[in-house]
Structure 1
Amino acid sequence: MDKAALLIIDYTNDFVAPDGALTAGKPAQDIASTIVTLADQFLAKKQFIILPTDLHVANDPFHPETKLFSPHNLVDSRGRAFYGPLANWYAEHQDSPYVYAFAKNRYSAFANTNLDNFLRERQITDLHLTGVCTDICVLHTAVSAYNLNYPLTIHKKAVATFTPNGQEWALAHFKNSLGATII
């Protein structure tokens, strides 16, 4: 039997809350309960819930995103905290051995992190992706996972981004170019 893990990517106030610095807005807010339900389902089966979360320093002249986006997910900021229902879920379950949150500094949760080692040490073979933004960090994480031979499942009702076109394009790309299962 394959072992699966749920990734909840960048589901923070800055990307989701109405006043977030780089918010995807209502589409991102609307997936909150689906993400928490999936986290509960994975935890009930003693499967890992992994929360890779963007982390930045204000006005970092060496980080490429400084030129692309307004400051977001800054260290020790309210914007970097998990959004709404996920914040409550994480506060309740953060000490579980099946919950793993870590900082990332690029779009992909695999870039410059120990995620691949973490998954392989636990014999995790399949990844289920959720979070924001579908066509940026979720997409880049999916491409990295594909290149590392992880089968992918994308939960269509648990990913969101800035525009309907970006959402539609990314979902098609997951399926047609990465062989992901879309549910």
Structure 2
Amino acid sequence: MDPSKTALILIGYQNDYFSPDGVLYSVIEASTKSNQVLENTVHLLSELVKTPTLMVATPIFFTPNYDELTEAVGILKTIKEVRAFQANTAGAATIEQLKPFEENILEVPGKRGFNAFINTNLDNILRKRGINHIMLAGAVASVCIDSTGRYAHERGYQVSILRDCLSARTIFEQEFYCDTIFPLYADVIDHNTLLENLLVPA
């Protein structure tokens, strides 16, 4: 695994999901705690900063009136109803645990739905940097992680999904997607195994 051609895509690491004060915290709380997602993510980042691996955050933001969600259904309807991820609010801000790595993480704005590639410049950024392998971490397994992973695979990227840096709506959902769905198009590994492979001298 060549770190210079690898990117970590961080999805949903915002207060409305991961802070106890977040309006959607309860949605992924059990899975986050069971998998020690935040602790594992911090450990992963602390090691990746020593490498040329590109680290990218793709936060989701909405205007105060949620004009972007004209006919929202499902989880996007819920986001609108509870007024989550509203731009320039504490809930939409990056979680404190990632603040020490701010200078090392490239923020790519524009995400409005499930797929981190849609309405963003993510694909162009990765192509220009010669990235051919992406790793996914964050929330939510069955929605943004799956949508982004499938799209990346179809665009020709090698995809790895970090099962212990991943939150889902339930522990069952997290295990089901990691064991049954993600392996259809991606490698599913824990972050320590990834680091072992990434840090092996060429």
- What CA distance in whole angstroms lies between the structure 2 residues aligned with 1:87 and 1:81? 10
Give the AA of the match of 1:15.
Answer: Y
List 4+ stretches of structure 1 deviating above 4 A: none
Q: Greater share of helix residues, 1 or 2?
A: 2
After superposition, the C-alpha distances for 1:42-85 in whole angstroms (9 at most, x for unaligned) are 22112111001111123425412653432211100101112231
Matched, 1:78 2:90: yes
Give the match's secondary structure for 1:130. Answer: strand
Q: Give the aligned CA root-mean-square deviation in angstroms.
A: 1.8
Q: Give the alignment's TM-score, normalised by structure 1.
A: 0.87
- What CA distance in whole angstroms lies between the structure 1 residues aligned with 2:168 and 2:149? 15
- What CA distance in whole angstroms lies between the structure 2 residues aligned with 1:4 and 1:62? 31
* Paired residue total: 176
Q: How does 1:1-183 map to 2 (within 5 A)?
A: 2=2, 3-23=5-25, 24-28=28-32, 30-63=36-69, 64=72, 67-69=77-79, 70-90=82-102, 94=103, 96=104, 99-103=105-109, 104-171=111-178, 172-175=180-183, 177-183=184-190
Gap change, CA 1:115 and 1:141, over 3 Å in 2: same
Give the match's secondary structure for 2:58. Answer: strand
Give the AA of the match of 1:84.
Answer: E
Give the AA of the match of 2:117.
Answer: F
Gap change, CA 1:89 and 1:179, over 3 Å in 2: closer
Give the match's secondary structure for 2:169. Answer: coil
Shift of 1:181: 3.4
Q: Does the 8 Å CA contact 1:127/1:150 hold for their aligned counterparts?
A: yes
Give the match's secondary structure for 1:44. Answer: coil
Query: Greater shift after overlay, 18-27 or 141-150?
Result: 18-27
Unpaired runs of 5+ residues, structure 1, are: none
- What CA distance in whole angstroms lies between the structure 1 residues aligned with 2:23 and 2:138? 17
Q: Does the 8 Å CA contact 1:59/1:71 hold for their aligned counterparts?
A: no
Q: Which has the larger radius of gyration?
A: 2
Q: Give the alignment's TM-score, normalised by structure 2.
A: 0.79
Give the match's secondary structure for 2:130. Answer: coil
